[in-house]
Amino acid sequence: MAEKLWDGRFDIPTDKSVERFTSSIATDSRMFREDIEGSIAHSRMLVAAGILSSEEADAIEKGLREIEKDIAEGRFVHDDSLEDIHMHIESALTEKIGDTARKLHTARSRNDQVALDVRLWLRRETEEIIAGLHALRRAFVDLAEAHMGVPMPGYTHLQRAQPVLFSHHMMAYYEMFTRDAERFKDALKRINVLPLGAAALAGTPHPIDREMTRRLLNFPMVSANSMDTVADRDFVAEFLSCASICMMHFSRISEELILWSSSEFAFIQLSDAFTTGSSIMPQKKNPDIPELVRGKTGRVYGHLMNILTLMKSLPMAYNRDMQEDKFPLFDGVDTLKSVVDIYIRMLPNMKVLSERMRTSCEKGFLNATDMADYLVEKGLPFRKCHSVVGKAVAYALSLGKELQDLSFEELKGFSDLVEDDLFEALSVESMINRRTSAGGTARENVQKAVDTAREVLAKEQV
């Protein structure tokens, strides 16, 4: 039986069922590198504090590096009696180098040790997600530039509203995922805080140098309050909040790709490499990737609610409930990273059916607002223009026609302000390119947005 860290206080051994119930090694073992990195930094700081000798710190580091290699190469044996990865590594180190290993835990607790490992792990994962979002945003810009000038119906209430450029639509998602990247970068400020040195909750009487540890582990700052340090999981909730918003954006584009790839829309074709078939219907080509992404969004939302519910009633400072933060965090990270990766691969292989998009812009009275704007420019108040065009639409509907299919005389019958130049104003290209207001869908605006995005992406460090 492995020796417990608290054996001195107890008269009888821990029940096996308790060991199984309290064990988290199956979940937190993935933080072994972070645990070893933190322990090596802590040992070096203990040398500077006069608590360890240089020889002892060297032995500790050598032993920890051997353990790291054993774990990485699958030679490390896990035991529920040791509960978590931190106790496993400490126990293995004691077997390797003897009592020197028992000095390593001086001036720290598992409370601040765990907080350190999670922050180190999440810092790296967040940086990788930001890098993934950089590549994703570039994929949207590439799509926008490759299909510049292709019109498509813009929708409100899922009803055809006004024509926009497909490139404009893609750049809308560039903006969404840019905000996501900015949120993760900002969250990284709260993740990137050194907790080690808070000990159990009150700090330590030993002459430690937290600034030295901060520098060794590349943290910009040290936590300010020892109680808050070990009680804090705000950074986990904040990360999952950012992840949930990001997944919401993925779910929205997934819904559009599902619709657009249907026969009813037929705006795009997803590559065969990113679709599946039916076990019974030979003709089917199913958009399973977007559907799964849409489904996984709820999974990440659930992880956020898990953390918020976990933390909502905990008194200061550390409570064992907080062991349950690992699964929602780890799975939330894994899910988001897998979605970012699959979209980076899927988007460049998507075929845009530009002719179908264009012809769809010519039906459904997408030019009704432009006729109203035309009359405004002729001097008619907008509310009167709205009424005039509404009557023209009703008349065209009764004939089974579009506005541009009506004759000049028919359109003139609704307003004496109508001239021959109305038909040019009702064309798809005119409707799009006249919308030059900042952020509008005019081609010159969209090209400028693409150029600006390329400059931004080129300057970002990932």
Q: Which residues are catalytic?
A: 157, 278
**CA torsion sign, 137 to 131 to 187 to 256?**
positive
Q: What SS3 string covers the chain? A: CCCCCCHHHCCCCCCHHHHHHHCCHHHHHHHHHHHHHHHHHHHHHHHHCCCCCHHHHHHHHHHHHHHHHHHHCCCCCCCHHHCCHHHHHHHHHHHHHHHHHHHCCCCCCHHHHHHHHHHHHHHHHHHHHHHHHHHHHHHHHHHHHHCCCCEEEEEECCEEEEEEEHHHHHHHHHHHHHHHHHHHHHHHHHHCEECCCCCCCCCCCCCCCHHHHHHHCCCCEECCCHHHHHHCCHHHHHHHHHHHHHHHHHHHHHHHHHHHCCCCCCCEECCHHHCECCCCCCCCCECHHHHHHHHHHHHHHHHHHHHHHHHCCCCCCCCHHHHHHHHHHHHHHHHHHHHHHHHHHHHHHCEECHHHHHHHCCCCCCCHHHHHHHHHHCCCCHHHHHHHHHHHHHHHHHHCCCHHHCCHHHHHCCCCCCCCCHHHHCCHHHHHHCCCCCCCCCHHHHHHHHHHHHHHHHHCCC
| Separation between Cα atoms, residue 118 and residue 123, nearest integer Å | 8
